[in-house]
Amino acid sequence: MGNGPGCDAAPRTSSPDAGRPVSSPSARHNAQRRNRCFVSTQQTGPAAPHSIRSRAGSPARHGAPPPHVSGISPLPVDLAAMLDALPVGVALLDIDCSIRLMNRALETLTGFTTAEVRGIPCRHALRASICLYRCPLRRPLTTASGVTVATASGAHYDMIDDGELPPAQEGDILNRHRRRIPVRMSMSPLRDADGRVVGWLHAVEDLTLVRELEEKTAKGEAFGPLVGRSVAMERVFQALPAVAQNDGPLLVTGETGTGKDTLAEAVHKASSRAREPFVKASLSSLPEFLAESELFGHRKGAFPGAEENKPGRFRLAQGGTLYLTEIGDLPLSIQGRLLAFLDEGVIYPVGATDPVACDVRLVVATNRDPEQLVAEGRLREDLFRRLSAVRLHLPPLRDRGEDIEFLLNHFMGHFAARMKKTVRGCSGKALRTLLDYPFPGNVRELRNIAEYAVTLCHGETVMPAHLPAYLFQAKAEARRAERERRTGRVAGAFGQPGSPDASDTTGDAQASPGDGGEHLARTSVSDLERRLIADALQRTGNRRGEAAELLGWGRSTLWRKMKQYGMC
Amino acid sequence: MPATLLIPLYRDEVAPRFDLAGEALLVHLDADGAELSRSSVLLAHASSEELCRIALEEKVRVVICNGIDDEFWQYLRWKRIEVIDNVMGPVDEAIARFRADALRPGDILFHRSDA
Chain B residue numbers touching A117 (CB-CB < 8 A): 88, 108
CB distance A178–B112 less than 8 Å?
A: no
DSSP state of A204: E
Cβ of B69 and A175 within 8 Å?
no
The answer on pLDDT for A28 being more than 60 is no
What is the interface size between A and B, counted as CB pairs within 8 Å? 58
Mean pLDDT over the full length of chain A: 76
Distance from CA of B70 to the nearest CA of A (A): 5
CA distance A528 to chain B (A): 55
Domain range B3-99, its CATH number among 3.30.420.130, 3.30.499.10, 3.40.1360.10, 3.40.50.620: 3.30.420.130
Q: Give residue A488's pLDDT.
A: 59
Closest to B68 (Cβ–Cβ): which among A5, A119, A178? A178
**Which tens digit of pLDDT belongs to each residue from A92-142?**
998 888 999 999 999 999 999 998 999 999 999 999 998 877 777 665 444
Contacts of A41 in chain B (CB under 8 A): none
CB contact under 8 A, A119 and B114: yes
CATH of domain A220-395: 3.40.50.300
Span A81-105, pLDDT tens digits: 888 888 899 999 988 889 999 999 9
Please name the member of B16, B114, B115 whose beta carbon is closest to the beta carbon of A127: B16
Residue A280 has pLDDT above 80, yes or no: yes
A164 pLDDT tier (thresholds 50, 70, 90): low
Domains A24-210 and A220-395 share a fold: no
pLDDT value of position A490: 42
Backbone angles phi, psi at A510, to 5 degrees: -80, -10
H/E stretch holding A24: helix A24-33
- Residue scoring higher pLDDT (A509 or A166): A166
Residue B41 in contact with residue B54, Cβ under 8 Å?
Answer: yes
Indicate the range of A8-17, A232-241, A310-319 predicted with least confidence. A8-17
What pLDDT is stored for residue A283 in this prediction?
Answer: 80
Is there a contact between B16 and A64 if contact means CB atoms under 8 Å apart?
no
pLDDT score of A149 more than 50: no
- pLDDT at residue A473, rounded to an integer: 79
Per cent of chain A over pLDDT 90 is 29
- Segment A264-292 mean pLDDT: 86
Q: Which long-range contacts (CB under 8 A, 24 or more apart) does A17-26 make?
A: A17/A147, A17/A148, A17/A149, A17/A196, A18/A196, A22/A147, A22/A194, A22/A195, A22/A196, A23/A146, A23/A147, A25/A146, A25/A147, A25/A161, A25/A162, A25/A163, A26/A147, A26/A191, A26/A194, A26/A195, A26/A196, A26/A197
A118 in reach of chain B (CB within 8 A): yes
Give just the sign of the alpha carbon dihedral A242, A245, A251, A253.
Answer: positive
Kindly state which CATH superfamily the domain A24-210 is placed in.
PAS domain (3.30.450.20)
d(CA A336, CA A344): 12
pLDDT tens-digit series, residues A329-360: 888 989 999 999 999 999 989 888 888 899 99
Q: How close does chain B come to A435, measured CA to CA in Å?
A: 43
User: In the prediction, which pLDDT does A162 show?
Assistant: 52
Residues of A in contact with B85 (CB under 8 A): 178
Instruction: List pLDDT tens digits, range A520-541.
Output: 344 456 777 888 888 888 788 7
Q: Is B49 on the interface with A (CB under 8 A)?
A: no
Tell whether the model's pLDDT for residue A66 goes beyond 90: no
Lowest-confidence segment of A2-11, A481-490, B32-41 by average pLDDT: A2-11
Regions of chain B with pLDDT less than 70: 113-115
State percent of chain A over pLDDT 70.
74
Query: Which residue of chain B has the CA closest to A177?
Result: B70
Does residue A137 contact residue A202 with C-beta atoms inside 8 Å? no
* pLDDT score recorded for residue A182: 94
Residue A181 backbone dihedrals phi, psi, to 5 degrees: -125, 125
- Please give the Cα distance from A224 to A193 (Å, whole number): 59
Q: Where are the domains of chain A?
A: 24-210, 220-395, 470-501+514-568
Q: Which pLDDT belongs to residue B93?
A: 96
Amino acid at A120: I
State the average pLDDT over residues A259-271. 91
- The residue of chain A nearest to residue B105, with distances taken between CA atoms, is A176
Q: What is the pLDDT of residue A561?
A: 84
CA dist A536 and A526 (Å) reads 15
- Is the Cβ pair B70, A116 closer than 8 Å? no
- Is the CB of A130 inside 8 Å of chain B's CB atoms? no
A543 Cβ under 8 Å from any chain B Cβ: no
Q: Is B73 on the interface with A (CB under 8 A)?
A: yes
A161-185: average pLDDT: 83
* B88 in A contact zone (CB under 8 Å): yes
pLDDT in the model for residue A219 = 64
Closest chain B residue to A100 measured between Cα atoms? Answer: B115
Q: Please say if the pLDDT value at position A193 is more than 60.
A: yes
- A487: pLDDT confidence band, cut at 50, 70 and 90? low
Cβ distance B10 to A132 less than 8 Å, yes or no, reads yes
Report whether B95 contacts B63 (CB < 8 A): no
pLDDT reported for residue A184: 93
In whole angstroms, give the CA distance from residue A471 to residue A465.
11
Q: Does B61 touch chain A (CB under 8 A)?
A: no
pLDDT band at A514 (very low <50, low <70, confident <90, very high): very low
- % helix, strand, coil for chain B, step of 5: 25, 30, 40
Given an 8 Å threshold on Cβ–Cβ distance, is B66 in contact with A127?
yes
pLDDT of the residue at A216: 67
Cβ of A178 and B19 within 8 Å? Answer: no
Give yes or no for residue A159 having a pLDDT over 60. Answer: no
- Check residues B38 and A57 and name the one with the higher pLDDT: B38
- The answer on pLDDT for A58 being more than 80 is no
Least confidently predicted of A55-64, A439-448, B66-75: A55-64
Judge whether A116 is closer than 8 Å to chain B, CB to CB: yes
The CATH number given to A470-501+514-568 is: 1.10.10
- A425: CB partners within 8 A, 6+ apart: A409, A412, A431, A460, A461, A462
